Amino acid sequence: MDGLIAPLLNGSAQGALLLLAALGLSLTFGQMGVINMAHGEFLMIGAFSAYLVQQVITASGLSIPVALPVAFVVAGLFGLLLEVTIIRWMYRRPLDTLLVTVGVGLILQQAALQIFPSQGVPVEKPRWLDGQLTILGYSWPMRQLFTILLATVCVAALSAWLKYTSFGRRIRATVHNRDLAETTGISTRGIDRLTFFVGSGLAGVAGVAASLIGGTNSQMGAQYIIPAFLVVAAGGIGQLKGTVIAAWAVGVALAFFAYWTTGSLAQVLAFILVIVFLQLRPQGLFTVRTRSLA
Partner 1 sequence: MTKKPWISLGGIGVFAVLLLAVAPLVLTDHWLNNLGKYCCWAIAAVGIGLAWGRGGMLVMGQGVFFALGAYAMAMHLTLETAGDRVPGFMVLYDPLAPLPMFWEPFRSAGFTLAAIVGLPVVVAGALGYALFKRRVKGAYFAILTQALAVALAVLISSTIRETGGDTGLSDFKYFFGFVLNDPANRLMVYLIAAALLIVCLLAVWQFYRSRFGELLVATRDAEERVRFLGYDPANVKLVAFVVSALMASIGGAMFVPIVGIITPAEIGAAASILMIAGVALGGRASLFGPALGAIAVGWGQSSLGSTWPDGWPYILGLLFIVVILFLPNGLSSLPARFAAARRKPDVPPTPVIAAAELEEVRS
Partner 2 sequence: GARAGDDAAGAGSSAAASCVDTSGDTIKLGFLNSLTGGMAISEKTVSDVLHMAADEINADGGILDKKIEYVQEDGATDWPTFAEKTEKLLTQDCVAAIFGGWTSSSRKAVKPVVEKFNGLFFYPVQYEGLESSPNIYYTGATTNQQIIPAMDFLAAEGVKTLFLAGSDYVFPRTANAIIKLYAAKLGIKIVGEEYVPLDKDDWTSQVAKIAAAKPDFIFNTINGSSNVGFIKAYYDAGLTPAKTPIISVSIAEEEAPAMGHEVTGNYASWNYFQSLKTDTNPEFIKNWKAYPNSSGVTSDPMEAAYISLYLYKALVEAAGSFDVDAVNAAAKAKPITFDAPEGKVTLDGENHHISKPGHIGRINADNQFDIVWASDKFIEPDPYLEGYDWFPADIRKQLTDAAG
Partner 3 sequence: MTDASLVVTDLRVEFSGFVAVGGVSFDAHPGEVRFLIGPNGAGKTTCIDAITGLTKGTGSARLGDTELLGRPVHKIVRLGVGRTFQTASVFDELTVLQNLDIAAGLHRSSVSLLRARRGVDRSIEQALEETGLAGEPATPAGILSHGQKQWLEIAMLLVQDAKVLLLDEPVAGMSHDERTATGELLQRIAARRIVLVVEHDMDFMRRFATRVTVLHQGRVLSQGTVAEVQADPQVQEVYLGTAGAATTAAMAVVLERED
Q: Does 292 bind partner 2 (CB under 8 A)?
A: no
Q: Does 176 bind partner 1 (CB under 8 A)?
A: yes
Cα angle 167, 172, 178 (rounded to 5 degrees) comes to 110
Q: Does 264 bind partner 3 (CB under 8 A)?
A: no
The one-letter amino acid code at 255 reads: A
Q: Which of 45, 67, 274, 285 binds partner 1 (CB under 8 A)?
A: 274
| Cβ 253 to partner 3 shortest distance, Å | 31
Helix spans in the chain (H): 2-25, 39-56, 60-85, 94-115, 142-164, 167-176, 178-183, 188-213, 222-235, 240-260, 263-280
| Residue among 193, 190, 183, 64 at smallest CA distance from 130 | 64
Q: Does 290 bind partner 3 (CB under 8 A)?
A: no
Distant-in-sequence, close-in-space partners of 111: CB < 8 Å, separation ≥ 6: none
Q: Does 280 bind partner 3 (CB under 8 A)?
A: no
Up-side HSE of residue 170: CA atoms within 13 Å toward CB?
A: 19
Pairing relationship of beta strands 132-135 and 138-141 according to DSSP bridges: antiparallel
Q: Which of 51, 197, 229, 256 binds partner 1 (CB under 8 A)?
A: 229
The answer to whether the beta carbons of residues 150 and 16 sit under 8 Å apart is: yes
**Ramachandran quadrant class, 178 (left: phi over 0; alpha: psi -120 to 50; beta: rest):** alpha
Give Cα 206 distance to the centre of its chain. Answer: 6
Q: Which of 61, 65, 103, 131 binds partner 2 (CB under 8 A)?
A: 131
Q: Which of 16, 18, 21, 175 binds partner 1 (CB under 8 A)?
A: 175
Q: Does 165 bind partner 2 (CB under 8 A)?
A: no
Size (the chain), residues:
294
The one of partner 1, partner 2, partner 3, none whose footprint includes residue 253, by CB under 5 to 8 A per kind, is none
Stretch that binds partner 1, among 67-75, 139-147, 188-196, 274-282 (CB under 8 A): 274-282
DSSP three-state, residue 126 = coil
Q: Does 95 bind partner 3 (CB under 8 A)?
A: no
| Cβ 219 to partner 2 shortest distance, Å | 5
Question: CA-to-CA distance for 243 and 228, rounded, in angstroms?
Answer: 9
Q: Which residues bind partner 1 (CB under 8 A)?
A: 29, 33, 35, 86, 89-90, 92-96, 98-100, 102-107, 109-110, 114, 175-176, 222, 226, 229-230, 233, 237-238, 262, 264-265, 267-268, 271-272, 274-275, 278-280, 282-283, 288, 290, 292-293
Q: Which residues bind partner 2 (CB under 8 A)?
A: 2, 6-7, 10-11, 13-14, 17, 110, 113, 117-125, 131-132, 139, 141-144, 210, 212-220, 222-223, 254-255, 258-259, 262-264, 266-267
